[in-house]
């Protein structure tokens, strides 16, 4: 991965391809690379949909190798949703394929002048870009089917649905899974709108004839990978809970902790949680001929995904993730798994972030557009988004916009981005991450649930302010570094609890690149990434006043614990004081 693929969509005579050495970005991958390019090359005051913004798609440092769990991919840009820097992360096959093709990143630049919609095909022989207006307003599933018809079924696809074409701020970018279905999404921050603004509908990748990336020291690399996998398999979260019940194993756990936001963050427990829990979901999948344990890309050993069938045994969607089940479920008062799975399918097809859309429907219900618990009304609202009606365009631009339009006070957003599935009053460490992350409200930026609820890596009382700043700070640093490697974030459970598994991760990196990295070097990388991102946001006009939760979290008591968010603004301002 010693080359960058720059595609200038503004070039005279049509898009222009430039393959250049990685140069000053050498040694970076994933989030480290996307944030470095955006911070250096994008004017911070640029309009996110303008030709001055860039879309960077980068596999991780270990992607394309045989390292387990190394298939995550980062998408970076200036976010249409937050106005700040954005890295959205996805699983699926494209990271491994793009890395094996030798590209450290695809960088989409400029903006087409002709109104055409383009497809990009990349294989070992090079890059071909052609206009294809037959793809206009197709859903992601139909786009992938058309690409299979043209290029065969040994490809991987990166695409946008109608939401991206309409440049909605909740638009995602879809990445195909092992079954060549567009079920993995870089969801957060409106990255799909930026791809739409670049006039690119789909990027097709074919790595036929390309071998896996070779490590500098194959013997040590193989040994490190074996130790790494053993560590993941013996940890109770990555070796037992996630493979058995998927990410939605958390539903009962977070509900019991009183941090499961219900009816637009009104309560911390959902009475219908047992109907939509991970246990019920897995049981339903198996009973209908689906799959409850499944990987989203080759090389995944945790296998936290699945395949969800409808009542007649036909494929409907991938196993809806914990965040999706919560967002379209408890947050909207809905306890119907089939309705939630249909909402997930629609979001994937239209190219929408399930977290943002679930939060948005919750705000719409608060506004009286539908009643909490009305699953069919929720499905109808998502279909409005897919059709691009005036109401759909409001909803498709997220919870903050919807709250403004309909005069709702309780709007759960930070920096314009909706909060995920942990109420910051009952899981206070997550509140610190939501408030201070460079990305807007984002659970993956510093997953304090580890110590607050699961007691992984120690224990910090989730209902008290003490210790939350340090917890969130350390997790944000570690997460930024993991996002650079291409590793799935779920490795953090084993890495935090097992020193030997963390060492195995270091050994993977060192034997692959011929380095001598220590734990301190990983910390330094995480800090470097966060400093770049904070600098961009500051130049874009952000101050510490953007590092705040909405006021209602500080004022409204959350049942069942009847607590408010207690971390002070003064302490929030200390997160980046290292």
Residue 416 in domain: yes
User: Cα-flanking dihedrals φ and ψ of residue 28, to 5°?
Assistant: -105, 150
Helix (H) or strand (E) holding 513, with range, is helix 499-513
Nearest CA to 351 among 545, 541, 173, 542? 173
Domain that holds residue 345: 260-423
Of 384, 402, 423, which residue is a domain's last?
423
Alpha-carbon distance 361 to 353, whole Å?
Answer: 12
Q: How many CA atoms lie within 13 A of 200 on its CB side?
A: 32
Q: Where are the alpha helices (DSSP H) in 46-166?
A: 94-100, 140-151, 162-165
CA nearest neighbour of 331 among 305, 354, 306: 354
Cα 578 from Cα 556, distance rounded (Å): 32
* All residues at 6 or more sequence positions from 405 whose CB lies less than 8 Å from its CB, including other chains: 394
CATH code at position 279: 1.10.569.10
Which tens digit of pLDDT belongs to each residue from 512-564?
A: 999 999 999 999 999 999 999 999 999 999 999 999 999 999 999 999 999 99
**Residue 115 forms part of a structural domain:** yes
SS3 labels along 263-317: CCCCECCCCCHHHHCHHHHHHHHHHCCCEEEECCCCCCCCCEEEEEECCCCCEEE
Instruction: Specify whether 290 is located in the same domain as 199.
Output: no
89 and 24 part of one domain: yes
> In the prediction, which pLDDT does 224 show?
97
Left if phi > 0, otherwise alpha if psi is -120 to 50, otherwise beta: which for 402? alpha
The Cα–Cα gap between 400 and 359 comes to 9
Let me know if residue 523 belongs to a domain: no
Residue 13 CA to residue 113 CA, distance in Å, equals 10
Burial of 152 (0-12, 13-18, 19+ CB in 10 A): exposed
Residue 86 belongs to what H/E stretch? strand 85-90
Number of domains comprising the chain: 2
Closest CA to 99 of 22, 9, 195: 22
Mean pLDDT estimate for the chain? 97
Boundary-marking domain end, from 381, 398, 423: 423
**Would 557 be classed as within a structural domain?**
no
pLDDT of residue 114: 85
CA-to-CA separations, 224 to 301, 481, 500, 529, 554, in angstroms, rounded = 15, 19, 10, 26, 46
160 and 287 in a single domain? The answer is: no
Tell me what pLDDT residue 102 has: 97
Regarding whether 415 and 283 lie in a shared domain, the answer is yes
Query: pLDDT tens digits for 83-120?
Result: 999 999 999 999 999 999 999 999 999 999 888 999 99
| Nearest Cα residue to 86 out of 395, 438, 425 | 438
Looking at 163, 179, 205, the residue that finishes a domain is: 205
Best CA proximity match to 107, nearest among 12, 33, 189, 5: 5
Residue 323 lies in a domain: yes
Q: 186 - beta bridge partners?
A: 173
Same domain, 191 and 269: no
Q: At 119, is the secondary structure helix, strand, or coil? A: strand
Report which of 176, 180, 178 is spatially closest to residue 159, judged by C-alpha positions.
176
Largest Cα–Cα distance in the chain? 63
Question: Does a structural domain hold residue 561?
Answer: no
The reply to whether 179 and 267 lie within a common domain is no
Q: What is the tens place of the pLDDT at every residue in 123-167?
A: 999 999 999 999 999 999 999 999 999 999 999 999 999 999 999
pLDDT < 70: residue spans in the chain: none
Our CA angle for 205, 211, 212, nearest 5°, is 90
- The answer on 264 and 198 residing in a single domain is no
For residue 178, give the DSSP letter: T
């Amino acid at each position: 991965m010693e080359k960058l693929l720059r595609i200038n969509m503004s070039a005279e005579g049509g898009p222009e391809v430039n393959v250049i050495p990685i140069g000053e970005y050498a040694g970076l991958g994933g989030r480290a690379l996307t944030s470095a390019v955006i911070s250096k090359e994008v004017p911070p005051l640029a309009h996110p949909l303008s030709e001055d913004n860039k879309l960077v798609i980068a596999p991780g440092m270990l992607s394309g190798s045989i390292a387990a769990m190394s298939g995550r991919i980062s998408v970076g840009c200036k976010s249409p949703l937050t106005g700040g820097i954005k890295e959205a992360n996805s699983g699926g096959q494209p990271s491994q394929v793009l890395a094996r093709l030798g590209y450290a990143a695809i960088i989409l630049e400029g903006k087409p002048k002709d109104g055409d919609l383009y497809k990009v095909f990349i294989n070992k022989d090079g890059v071909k870009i052609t206009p294809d207006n037959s793809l206009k307003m197709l859903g992601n599933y139909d786009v992938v089917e058309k690409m299979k018809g043209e290029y065969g079924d040994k490809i991987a696809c990166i695409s946008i649905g109608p939401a991206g074409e309409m440049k909605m701020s909740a638009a995602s970018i879809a990445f195909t899974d092992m079954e060549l279905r567009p079920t993995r999404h870089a969801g957060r921050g409106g990255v799909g709108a930026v791809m739409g603004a670049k006039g690119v509908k789909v990027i097709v990748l074919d790595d036929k004839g390309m071998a896996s990336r070779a490590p500098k020291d194959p013997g040590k690399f193989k040994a490190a990978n074996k130790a790494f996998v053993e560590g993941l398999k013996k940890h109770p979260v990555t070796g037992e809970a996630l493979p058995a019940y998927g990410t939605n194993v958390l539903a009962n756990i977070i509900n019991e902790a009183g941090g499961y936001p219900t009816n637009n963050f009104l309560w911390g427990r959902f009475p219908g949680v047992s109907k939509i829990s991970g246990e019920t979901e897995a049981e339903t999948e198996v009973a209908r001929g689906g799959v409850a344990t499944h990987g989203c890309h080759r090389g995944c050993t945790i296998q936290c995904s699945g395949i969800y069938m409808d009542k007649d045994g036909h494929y409907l969607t991938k196993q809806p993730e914990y965040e999706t089940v919560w967002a379209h479920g408890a947050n909207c008062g809905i306890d119907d798994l089939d309705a939630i799975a249909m909402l997930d399918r629609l979001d994937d097809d239209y190219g929408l972030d399930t977290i943002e859309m679930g939060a948005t429907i919750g705000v719409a219900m608060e506004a009286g557009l539908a009643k909490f618990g009305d699953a069919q009304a929720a499905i109808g609202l998502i279909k409005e988004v897919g059709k691009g009606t005036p109401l759909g365009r409001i909803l498709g631009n997220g919870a903050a916009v919807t709250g403004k339009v309909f005069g709702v006070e309780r709007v759960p957003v930070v920096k314009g981005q909706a909060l995920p599935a942990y109420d910051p009053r009952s899981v206070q460490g997550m509140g610190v991450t939501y408030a201070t992350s460079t990305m807007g409200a984002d659970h993956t930026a510093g997953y304090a649930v580890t110590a607050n609820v699961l007691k992984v890596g120690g224990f910090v009382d989730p209902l008290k302010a003490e210790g939350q700043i340090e917890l969130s700070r350390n997790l944000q640093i570690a997460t930024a570094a993991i996002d650079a490697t291409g590793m799935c974030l779920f490795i953090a459970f084993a890495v935090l609890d097992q020193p030997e598994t963390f060492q195995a991760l270091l050994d993977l990196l060192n034997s692959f690149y011929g380095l001598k990295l220590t734990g301190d070097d990983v910390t330094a990388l995480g800090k470097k990434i966060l400093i770049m991102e904070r600098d961009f946001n500051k130049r874009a006009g952000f101050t510490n006043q953007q590092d705040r939760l909405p006021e209602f979290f500080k004022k409204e008591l959350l049942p069942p614990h009847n607590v408010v968010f207690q971390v002070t603004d003064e302490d929030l301002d200390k997160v980046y004081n290292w």
